[in-house]
Structure 1
Amino acid sequence: MTTTRPRRTQTTQTTQTTQTFTSHDGTELAYRTVGDGPPLLCLPGGPGRAAEYLGDLGGLAAHRTLVLPDTRGTGASAASADPAGYRVDRLVADVEALRRHLGLDRVDLLGHSAGGSLALLHAAAHPDRLSSLTLVTPSFAAVGLPSDTGAEEVIAARAGEPWHAGAVAAYRRVKAARSFAEAAPHRPAFEPLMYGRWDGTARAHAAADPRQRSLTVSEHYYADYTPDTADLRRRLAALPCPVLLLAGELDLWPTAVSAAGAAALFPDAVLTVQPGAGHYPWLDDPQAFTAAVAGFLSSAAGRADGR
């Protein structure tokens, strides 16, 4: 596999404003806004990682006002009275509560990683509330599709990296772990496989993970969740809004192969595979990432205006 090594550029420095809202069950949840332009609601992944790690999404905040909620139990959001409230399908109600709080009849929704699973469930439950759906290196666990098809080939293609042997050994341990807590000690050695380039920016981003993550939320996010795959796929096949599915060429969860397979879920989907990118494509090449997402959102807005 031939990969490009794009130069990282400095992203826009913008002021973030933190606000709170009360969700459906009385839990006080926090969100930050950053940037300028129409709102883009961005669901973080992890699962259980506070939205801080999204930053300004590689400068996307220059085009959109990013709304960055902390999932309940993470960051500045209050914990759930019942840990079962952290389950991905139950978090759909928090997304809806935030949409209503923002006063938006319809919303442009972006989900990253495990937040992609949540975005998919929200889209299936509330298709009439979306103007567009952007899935950035998303998990497909919510709809029962594999995310790691072809992962071994991606790993083998990076064999020349100096960290490769240690990262692969840690990857095997993470995959074999029975819980997020069991996997946690192996994540630091595994992290190089999650980035297109293991440089200072990537190291700092990965090092922040433990303080941003709630293992309690991680453990409960998919616990006892069994998707009704037939119903979900039927609903997504009728989704009336356009979908961008953005994968990283070097990502393991999901691989570009898995993302291509998942694109068939939607009647109107654009699949973009960002060259040389891992699980956090806005870090690997901010300009390419921003151009892809901003271009898609602009096109979606133009189509909506023409209805």
Structure 2
Amino acid sequence: MTTHEDPHHAVPSAEPLTDETVRLRVDDVDLALATVRRDGHREPVVFLHGFGSTKEDYADAALHPAFTGRGLLAYDAPGCGQSDCSDTAKVSIPFLVATAEAMLDHAGIDRFHLVGHSMGGLTALLLAARNPDRVLSFVDIEGNVAPEDCFLSRQVVTHPATDDEAFFDDFIDRNRRTPAYSAALYAAGLRHKVRPGVVRPIFTSMVELSDHGDLMTTFLKLPCPLMFMYGEQNAHLSYLPALAAGGVELAPIPRSGHWPMYANPVAMWDRIAAFHTT
């Protein structure tokens, strides 16, 4: 019996990503950052993953025809995924911004499109604010812009624990039982993707910045085209009308919550690709 492969489901031809470990020293901390990258003749896209995620969230960009010819860069943040860090207690959001700048310098990337999710969205926001002439566009996937965004990170305050391991164990269990799209899938990978020592300093800095950093003003003042992407399960976010009034393109992703790259990646990639063509 002869079978015929549906051409619409064939694996697309693509320029592959190159794996590399980049060794950097940032604020007297030694880093070994696991990266995936490819070069291209079109301006590159730089991806910053969220807490509990990794660079692999964005590896599929290399397979999408819309990104043909574009340079791509993603890496595991210090203390996350396959990246190592000599002092996990130093890993705050400002430290992640400095790490991103060091990685861009190492990669020789001057101007770029920016995509960041959650923790990576907040990092990307501050990175763009510090480098406004370098960022061509910014897709913020539920990155923190207001205090209400700390539904994960504020647990460091609302659910105190005696040590890092105990807090992380309870955090994983709470997320596993959360009635949200992809929450159980997210929780299943946390132990494998995050070193417990980075959790408290990252979460503490996220809460501090969200509560006192005037992030909404910073976001709306960025000079590049802006998109705010969110799962339809989070359409209740109170600031969405203010973003729209400020000229931000809103991108609700159906059948999704905080992690559209897990719940509905097809819709997520289509919206990002369309945004980059404008």
Please give the TM-score of this superposition, normalised by the length of structure 2.
0.74
Deviation, structure 1 residue 13: 8.4
Question: For structure 2, which runs of at least 5 residues remain unmatched after alignment?
Answer: 1-8, 161-166
Deviation, structure 1 residue 219: 1.9
C-alpha separation in 1, matches of 2:140 and 2:200:
22
Deviation, structure 1 residue 259: 5.6
C-alpha separation in 1, matches of 2:45 and 2:274:
14
Is 1:183–2:162 an aligned residue pair?
A: no
Alignment: residue pair count: 252
Q: What SS is found at the alignment partner of 2:224?
A: coil
Correspondence for 1:170: none
Correspondence for 2:193: 212
Q: What SS is found at the alignment partner of 1:187?
A: helix
Q: What amino acid sits opposite 1:220 in the alignment? A: P
CA deviation digits over 1:176-206, x for unaligned, max 9?
Answer: 533444322333333x5133xx9xxx85x65
CA deviation digits over 1:19-38, x for unaligned, max 9?
Answer: 21424345332211269764
Q: Which runs of 4+ in 1 moved over 6 A?
A: none
Deviation, structure 1 residue 120: 1.4
C-alpha separation in 1, matches of 2:170 and 2:187:
18
Q: What SS is found at the alignment partner of 1:101?
A: helix
Correspondence for 2:221: 238
C-alpha separation in 2, matches of 1:260 and 1:233:
11
Q: What amino acid sits opposite 2:73 in the alignment? A: V
Alignment of 1:23-38 (within 5 A): 23-25=25-27, 26-33=30-37, 38=43
Say whether the 8 Å CA contact 2:181–2:258 is kept in structure 1: yes
Is 1:296–2:278 an aligned residue pair?
A: no
Deviation, structure 1 residue 94: 0.6
Is 1:269–2:229 an aligned residue pair?
A: no
Question: For structure 1, which runs of at least 5 residues remain unmatched after alignment?
Answer: 1-8, 150-172, 300-307
CA deviation digits over 1:108-143, x for unaligned, max 9?
Answer: 1111122111111212222222111111132x1xx4
C-alpha separation in 2, matches of 1:10 and 1:260:
38
- 1:245–1:133 Cα change, 3 Å: same
- 1:12–1:115 Cα change, 3 Å: farther
**Which region of structure 1 is more displaced relative to structure 2, 178-187 or 289-298?**
178-187
Correspondence for 1:74: 80
Alignment of 1:1-307 (within 5 A): 15-19=16-20, 20-25=22-27, 26-33=30-37, 38-46=43-51, 48-56=52-60, 60=64, 63=67, 64-81=70-87, 83=89, 85-138=90-143, 140=144, 143-147=145-149, 177-178=159-160, 179-190=167-178, 193-195=180-182, 203=185, 207-223=188-204, 226-227=208-209, 229=212, 232-251=215-234, 255-258=235-238, 260-261=240-241, 263=243, 267-299=246-278
By relative contact order (CA 8 Å, sep 6+), the higher-ranking structure is 1
Deviation, structure 1 residue 232: 4.5
Q: What amino acid sits opposite 1:272 in the alignment? A: A
- 1:54–1:66 Cα change, 3 Å: same
- 1:147–1:12 Cα change, 3 Å: farther
Residue identity (%): 28
Q: What SS is found at the alignment partner of 1:194?
A: coil
Calculate the aligned-residue CA RMSD, in Å: 3.5
Please give the TM-score of this superposition, normalised by the length of structure 1.
0.68
Correspondence for 1:305: none
C-alpha separation in 1, matches of 2:10 and 2:174:
31
The structure where strand makes up a greater share of residues is 2
Q: What SS is found at the alignment partner of 2:98?
A: helix
